[in-house]
Each structure stands twice: as structure tokens, then as C-alpha cells.
Structure 1
Amino acid sequence: MTQGHPEPVRRDQWRVSHDEREAVVERLNNAAAEGRLDLDELDVRLSKALTAKTYADLDALTADLPPDVPVNQEPLVLSGGMHGETRTGRWDVPPRIIAYGGMGSVKLDFTQVESRLPEIAIEAHGEMGGVTIVIPDDWGTETSGMSSGLGGFRDKTTPERQPRTPLVRLSGNGGAGGVVVRHPNSWERRKLRRLQERR
């Protein structure tokens, strides 16, 4: 009788590093300085952070805190204009992005980026050309801030967000061209596989 393959370990059960524990400690201290945690809560959470073993242990300590991102950082503003604009490959992702589809459309492709941001806020205006947003399979979306406009808004993602991955929070209007957020299509997946094989 052959033995079956062991079940893969879920991401929230992965072991955390010293740097990841320290990052949560810093975030908790900042929250206390802002008045979000009292000293007793801070002491309890700091103790748990320093002894955390998995991502799930750490996530529970900051689940009720707002994203710790720079509030004064200028957003990245993209405009499709007449010829379109695209962000793809490996690029630096800021916590805030504003995309105007213009006549030529805007495409934001996050499938090759490495982001440690807990949340990415995207204000998308489809205008005439539309806006397309492509995210990895394990990222999540929150789309209550979107209105459909004439072109509509379509969320084709699946609710499979994994711990320690960004949440894409969308707001804006579909305009005439529409706004779409989705995972990679078959052609994009083949391209990603080819890139991984070359590395």
C-alpha cells in the first residue's frame, strides 16, 4: 500500500522570523502611541508578539488595527490619455494609486511585484478607455467603494486571500469604459510560467 503525499502546510501556519516579530512589535508600539491600545493591552500583545511562532499568531495581534502605511505619501497617478498606460513586471507599489482610464486605458498588473503592504488603495476611474487591475491568486479585494457607471464594474477575483498578502481596496467609478479587477488569464499565466523557468 502506497502512502499518500502529506498535506501542504497552509501559509498561516508558516513559521515567522525575528524581523517579522519585531515589525509587529513596532506596529503595536505605534498603535499605543496613537491611543489605539492602552498600556495593559500593549503589554499583553507585546508578550504574545515576542513568542509568536506562526503568521496566524501575529495576524491575530493586529487584526483590529488600521493598516500601518504612510499617510503623507503622495499617490501614484496614472492616466491612460490617448495611448494608454501600463504598470507591469516588477515595479515599486505605493500604498495609494489613482488611475484614470482616459481614451487609451490603464492596466495595473501586480502579478510579479513583491509587496509587504497590508493594503493598497486604488481609486479607479474608467472614463472612456477603462481600467484593468490584475492581482495574484492569493491577494484579496474590497470593492464596496466602487460605483459601476455606464461601463460597469466587474470583480472576477475569488475570495482566497492568504495571510500576509495585500488587500486591494477599490473605490471610484466605472465610467464609460468600465473597471475590471481579476486574476491572471491563461495567456498571462503562461507568460508567468516562462519567466519563472528562466530564473
Structure 2
Amino acid sequence: MVERLSTAAAEGRIDLSELDVRLDLALNAKTYADLAPLTADLPPEAPVNRGPLVIKGGMNGATRSGRWQVPAQITVYGGMGSAKLDFTQTECRLPEVAIEVHGQMGGVTIVIPDGWVAATADMDPGLGGFRDKTTSDRLPRTPLIRLTGTGGAAGVVIRHPNSWERRSQRRNQKSLNS
């Protein structure tokens, strides 16, 4: 309980004075029922990640999009058919996500929401090159995407959603609200 409350404070979900109050109540609790109200207003804990997510483009390509659980480590191989990671509909509470990327023959595209930023200094452009089309305007409580690896023959691109993807997101949001 102490760890969960400390994490909530580190994420900015509760302030330090609220943390002190809740920690005092947690440490003086007599039953599990006394603990439940202390985290009732916090989002559920993220599941423990079992290892890196590996995406392989193979011959036909691979895409990870929509709502999916973002692990702390991801490895992406473009293969012959390309690979795409789309984070625009994910809810990521991690402060940092490490992505090892290998463009290979098909290339890799990574799409991150506005407000997320990428650290790309450790990327090797390879033959296909590497393009970072993101902004450096990071919003609070958004992850830093740390890219390493090589562009391979086809290259790697990291960017924010394009206009077509933004229109598609708005249409999907409208249909969900209807």
C-alpha cells in the first residue's frame, strides 16, 4: 500500500500533503477494509510486464494499434513487409518506454500522440535513414520514448499522427460517443 501511494504521488495523482495523510492512515490500519478507501480514487495498477514486446514485420508486415498495454521495453523488426507501432489510443502510465528498432528491408513507423516526446540520439540511420518528425513539447505525465537501433535498408520514422489519422480518430471518437 505504501508503494502504491508513493507511486501515485510520483505520478502527480496526489500531492505530498495528501500522501502524508494516506500513509499515516495506511500504517495505522487494522484491517484490509481500512485500506480500500485509500486507493479508491486512483486508477487500477498496471499489470507487471513479463518482458519486452517483440514485433516482427516478417514478409507481410505487422501493425500494433488501437488500445493495447504498453510495456516498458519493445523490440521492433521491420522485416520485409514493414512494421508500425501506433500509440495514439494507448494509455501509458510509464515514465519511459525503451524501443529497440531495426528497420531492415521493410522499415518501421512509430506514431506517438501529441505531447509525447522521443529521445533519438542513440539511433543509427543505417542505409535507409532515420527521421524524427516529433516535437519537443512534452506534456506532464506522458512517457518519454527512448529509441535505439538502426534504420536498416528501409529506414525508421517516428512522428505524431498525420491529418488522415487525426480525422479517423475523430470519427472513431464520435461513433463511441453516439
**TM-score when normalising by structure 2:** 0.74
Q: CA RMSD of the aligned region, Å?
A: 2.5
Assess if the C-alpha contact under 8 Å between 1:25 and 1:49 holds in 2. no
Alignment partner of 1:127 is 2:127: no
- Residue by residue, what CA displacement relative to the aligned partner does 1:34-55 show, whole Å, maximum 9, x if unpaired? xxxxxxxxxxxxxx72358xxx
Query: Could you say if the C-alpha distance between residues 145 and 198 of structure 1 is closer, same or farther in structure 2, counting changes exceeding 3 Å?
Result: same
Cα contact 2:9–2:16 (8 A) shared by 1: no
What are the residue-to-residue correspondences of 1:1-199 with 2, within 5 Å? 22-24=5-7, 49-51=16-18, 73-199=50-176
State the Cα distance separating 1:23 from its structure 2 match. Answer: 3.6
Q: Residue deviations 1:101-158, cap 9 Å, x none? A: 0000000000011110111100000000000000001111101110100000000001
Shift of the 149–83 alpha-carbon distance from structure 1 to 2, 3 Å rule, reads same
TM-superposed deviation, 1:24:
3.4
Shift of 1:70: 10
Contact 1:131 1:180 in 2 (8 A): yes
The sequence identity of aligned pairs, in percent, is 64
Counterpart of 2:130, as a letter, is: F
CA distance in 2, matches of 1:25, 1:194: 33
Structure 2 counterpart of 1:198, one-letter code: S
Match of 1:14 in 2: none
Scaled by the length of structure 1, what TM-score is found? 0.67
Going from structure 1 to structure 2, the CA distance change for 1:151 and 1:182 (only over 3 Å counts) comes to same
2:49/2:72 contact within 8 Å kept: no
Match of 2:29 in 1: none
- Write out the 4+ residue segments of structure 1 that deviate beyond 3 Å after TM superposition: 23-27, 69-73
**Alpha-carbon distance between aligned partners in 2 of 1:165 and 1:140, rounded to the nearest angstrom:** 8
Amino acid at match of 1:22: L
Q: 1:102 to 1:90 in 2, by over 3 A?
A: same
Q: Which residue of 2 aligns with 1:3?
A: none
Aligned residues: 144
Mark the CA change 1:72 to 1:94 in structure 2 (over 3 Å): closer, same or farther. closer
Q: Which runs of 5+ in 2 are unaligned?
A: 20-45
Distance 1:70 1:151 in 2: 36
SS in 2 for 1:103: coil
**Counterpart AA for 1:49:** L
CA contact (8 A) 1:111 1:184 kept: yes
Letter in 2 for 1:101: G
Distance 1:130 1:175 in 2: 7
